[in-house]
Structure 1
Amino acid sequence: MVSQLSIVSMVVQLILSIGFPIFLLIYFRKRMHLSWKAVVVGVLTFVVFALGLEGAFNFYMVETNRFTSNLIKNTPWLMALYGALAAGIFEEVGRYISYSVLLKGFRERQDGIAYGIGHGGIEAIFIGVKQAIPNISLALMVNSGSIQSLIATQPMLVNVKKALIETPFYMYWLAGFERMGAVFLQIALSLVVLYGVKNKKIGYLFLAIFLHAFMNIFAGLYQMKLLPLLVVFVLLVIFAVIAVIAIRKSRKWFA
């Protein structure tokens, strides 16, 4: 049986992943009169560059190309590094192109925050829904016993069932908080790239790529079982705090 506390925690994870970006949008919209266009462009850029282009590139590199697939899959630290770099390059280049082409007249701090909420918010919602909804559905099926009929046709669900039963409830809370921290990181990176575009300094794009990849690699190392979860979560909290400080300091960047 999956504990009721775990199921409630899955629901909390879903609420945090969806609710936090909406809260930030409402909060900053009232304080800074954010542009809806910048928010929507942030959403679309994540969909096109992260889900579309990066997803297709990853499929080719990790699944289709025999040489790179064998190399990456058989080298855990390389898999973590590759995933971090791919995310950094595709998302930050997408940001840069969107600012340069679609948001030519949007060069102020509030525009970077609006874009970041759109980009980071849809990422949080997408990942939160993708993780929480299947978990909640399968957990309810485990508790009702109806999952056994699925296991008969999909034996791999045995491992899913076991994971749902054995995963501590607090893991779902951590997943929700991780999404909240990631939104702040996306806003901060959006401001870094916008500052570079506004001042015609391409170096800030490369800085954003490096920072994005650097922060992502620890999550990749955890997924490859090379780092404990506690270390990764502590680092995420540190990165999120630095991101919040950077967002506040960005007033001076755009003064």
Structure 2
Amino acid sequence: MDAVDTRLVASYAVAIAFDVLMPVGVVLWARRRLGASWKVVGWGAAAFALSQLLTRLPMVQVAQYFMRDALKASSVLLGAWIAVLSLTAGLFEETARLWAFRKPLKDFRRWRDAVGFGAGHGGLESALLVGGLAVLGLVNVIVLSALDPSTLSLKPEQAAQVVEAKATIAALDWWMPLLGAYERLGAMAVHIALSVVVLQRFLRGEVRWYWFAVAAHASFNALTVVVGKLATAAWGTRFGALAGEGMVTVAALLSVWVIVYFRRVEAARESVAPGLT
């Protein structure tokens, strides 16, 4: 039985708490400071569930299962698959935003509504999906650290898999789970910005804003993965993870600029036409 790295366990615990509590804080801020309604927050969360949890993600898991050997054997196929994953993420999620503002939220088309929608959308992803995966990661760390394959009746290939998994955990830097929490903060800014951009489809009557959001979403996903993989291949896992989060930082800063810019646009429009909502 190997000793559990208490720093790694603590790191996971902090990351899980952040994944759950951060979106709660953002939603409450949007409610109290901006006046965003629970309806837009709820539809934002529902849009993520409909576009990812109940549709795209199950299909992706099935496809990856059947292609698992081919993806390991071909770097070209892997690159194409990353492109497909990135594009479908953009199409599914941005179409869900578009539909929400077209139908159930047709009377909620102000900047604050887009912010509330993005907070709900990114919040469910952070608390349920990413937080849930972090919980599973913590359980794996604790269980595998306590597991001694020599005491179990395992086939040789199964024992080898357990040994490999234990080695992976042993090589994991204790602060790695915190990068996931940091990524959720950046992703929240991206989700809010994309919601603001999709809203322009209705405020300006131009469909190109929807396609801008799809392209930005797909590019963000693809660049984060590709940069991380290239950096990992060149300098190792630690630097690869940091490089990927560097891309998240760039995307988050650009997203904050987009959010602030369109708030100023709305304020300028309302100063010209005070009765316009």
Q: How far apart are 1:53 and its partner, in Å?
A: 1.9
Aligned length: 252
Match 2:199 to one of 194, 199, 209: 194
Query: d(CA) in 2 for partners of 1:168 and 1:151?
Result: 31
Q: How far apart are 1:142 and its partner, in Å?
A: 3.6
Query: d(CA) in 1 for partners of 2:39 and 2:21?
Result: 21
- Secondary structure of 2:103's aligned partner: helix
Query: d(CA) in 1 for partners of 2:152 and 2:202?
Result: 52
1:170-249 aligned within 5 A: 170-221=175-226, 225-227=229-231, 228-249=240-261
Q: Deviations over 1:98-139 (max 9, x none)?
A: 110111100101100010000011111123323221122222
> Who is 2:141 aligned against?
139
- Distance change in 2, residues 1:32/1:148 (3 Å): farther
Larger Rg: 2
1:73-88 aligned within 5 A: 74=74, 75-88=77-90
Query: d(CA) in 1 for partners of 2:225 and 2:262?
Result: 29
1:63-82 aligned within 5 A: 63=65, 70=70, 74=74, 75-82=77-84
Question: Looking at both structures, which has the greater relative contact order when contacts are Cα pairs under 8 Å and sequence separation is at least 6?
Answer: 1
Q: Tell me which amino acid in the other structure corresponds to 1:124.
A: S
Q: Which runs of 5+ in 1 are unaligned?
A: none
> Who is 1:104 aligned against?
106
- Distance change in 2, residues 1:4/1:72 (3 Å): closer
Q: How far apart are 1:83 and its partner, in Å?
A: 1.1
Query: d(CA) in 2 for partners of 1:150 and 1:193?
Result: 54
- Distance change in 2, residues 1:145/1:83 (3 Å): same
- Distance change in 2, residues 1:151/1:86 (3 Å): farther
Q: How far apart are 1:150 and its partner, in Å?
A: 7.7
Q: TM-score, normalised by structure 2?
A: 0.82
CA RMSD, 1 decimal: 2.6
1:29-178 aligned within 5 A: 29-59=31-61, 61-63=63-65, 70=70, 74=74, 75-145=77-147, 152=154, 155=159, 156-178=161-183
Moved more, 48-57 or 108-117: 48-57
- Distance change in 2, residues 1:149/1:123 (3 Å): farther
Matched residues, percent identical? 25
Q: TM-score, normalised by structure 1?
A: 0.88
